[in-house]
Amino acid sequence: MIQFVTWVVFGVIVGSVAKWFYPVDDKHGMLATLGVGVVGSFVGGLASYVLAAGHSPYNPAGFVFAIVGAVATLAAWNWYSQQPPSL
């Protein structure tokens, strides 16, 4: 249970910092921020693993990679949502 709470808190923090770096017109609120933070942590963790920069999200490299991953997730989501629907 404590790991779930830790993931939620970490996801909200990372998502909030990512939205500060990459402001978007977000009408979804805290749940979208949590989703961006968790997905960004996953993407950043993969990048950290590939670059062998650190494996724990609690060290500074893990936190930085999580934020970079969350910003990349926001950019990708913003790009995807701006595309016109295809036939």
pLDDT of residue 74: 87
Whether the Cβ atoms of residue 66 and residue 42 lie closer than 8 Å to each other = no
pLDDT of residue 36: 86
pLDDT of residue 33: 83
* 31 pLDDT higher than 70: yes
pLDDT of residue 66: 86
Contacts of 13 (CB under 8 A, 6+ apart): 37
Residue 85: both structure tokens together? 């629907």
Q: Greatest CA span in the chain, whole angstroms?
A: 46
pLDDT of residue 43: 85
* 25 pLDDT higher than 80: no
Q: How far is 63 from 52, CA to CA, in rounded Å? A: 14
Q: How far is 26 from 78, CA to CA, in rounded Å? A: 10
